[in-house]
């Protein structure tokens, strides 16, 4: 099979390539008509394309991070290309469904609904139909001791401020959403950390980055996720988050 030249590569073509070839040649943005701003086109086709080819984070993970950023920042217009790229990189439709539902809680319902509309178009083009197979599925095993500790801390600190938030944090998030089997805990954590950085919510990063690394995200992957985030969430958000990442890394064993 002949490999198309990078300049003519389309998202559809990626599906026919091996994962290694896709990683080496995947476009950061669709290449077709020239951009209206040549300077942006220069950095998109040069610098940004290079980011997608960096080692340290798989094409699948880069797609997950990028989709999470676009949903969190309510940039649904840019989603179709990256949803297609995610699907071609091994993210399953059911996993995309879980990502959007997860981000409804972490980035707001309006952002998730906008993303749902973008997904509808992509699924229609690809003739994909999904259902909530996890609705009645057995939930993942819960670390009861850790959850009791978390719930007690939150209740003691904020129970008098907003009982409703405390209730839903326990019942809807940590005893349901986080235990859904349709998205691996490591990937769910990667989505959450990406959304927090993209939204500038650095105060929440310490807990969720530690959770991500407990769930299997490595130090190298976390650091490379920041590189991806710099381009899609902006340098200021990443530089605000980097001291928190540094502290978390320093507090954990070097094997992470």
Please give the model's pTM, rounded to 2 decimal places: 0.88
Q: What is the pLDDT of residues 186-225, one digit of tens each?
A: 999 999 999 999 999 999 999 999 999 999 999 999 999 9
**Whole-number average pLDDT of the chain:** 89
**Res 114 pLDDT > 50:** yes
Spatial separation of the C-alpha atoms in residues 68 and 44, rounded to whole Å: 20
pLDDT at 28: 57
Q: Which of 126, 31, 130 is nearest to 83 (CA)?
A: 126
CA within 13 Å, CB half, 166: 15
Q: What is the pLDDT of residues 233-251, one digit of tens each?
A: 999 999 999 999 999 999 9
Spatial separation of the C-alpha atoms in residues 124 and 128, rounded to whole Å: 6
């Amino acid at each position: 099979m002949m490999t198309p030249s990078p300049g003519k590569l389309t998202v559809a073509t990626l599906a026919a390539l091996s994962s290694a070839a896709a990683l080496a040649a995947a476009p950061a943005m669709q290449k077709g008509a020239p951009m209206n701003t040549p300077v942006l086109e220069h950095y998109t086709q040069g610098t940004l394309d290079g980011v997608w080819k960096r080692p340290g984070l798989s094409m699948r993970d880069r797609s997950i991070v990028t989709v999470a950023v676009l949903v969190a920042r309510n940039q649904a217009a840019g989603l179709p290309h990256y949803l297609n790229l995610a699907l071609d990189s091994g993210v399953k439709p059911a996993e995309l469904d879980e990502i959007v539902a997860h981000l409804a809680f972490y980035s707001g319902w309006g952002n998730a609904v906008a993303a749902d509309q973008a997904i509808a178009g992509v699924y229609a083009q690809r003739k994909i139909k999904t259902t909530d197979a996890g609705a009645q599925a057995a939930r993942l095993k819960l670390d009861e001791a850790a959850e009791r500790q978390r719930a007690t801390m939150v209740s003691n600190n904020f129970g008098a401020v907003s009982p409703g938030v405390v209730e839903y944090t326990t019942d809807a998030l940590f005893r349901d959403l986080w235990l859904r089997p349709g998205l691996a805990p490591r990937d769910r954590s990667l989505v959450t950390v990406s959304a927090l950085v993209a939204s500038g919510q650095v105060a929440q990063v310490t807990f969720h980055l530690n959770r991500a690394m407990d769930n299997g995200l490595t130090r190298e992957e976390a650091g490379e996720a920041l590189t991806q985030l710099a381009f899609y969430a902006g340098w200021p958000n990443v530089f605000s988050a980097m001291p928190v990442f540094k502290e978390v890394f320093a507090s954990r064993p070097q094997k992470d």
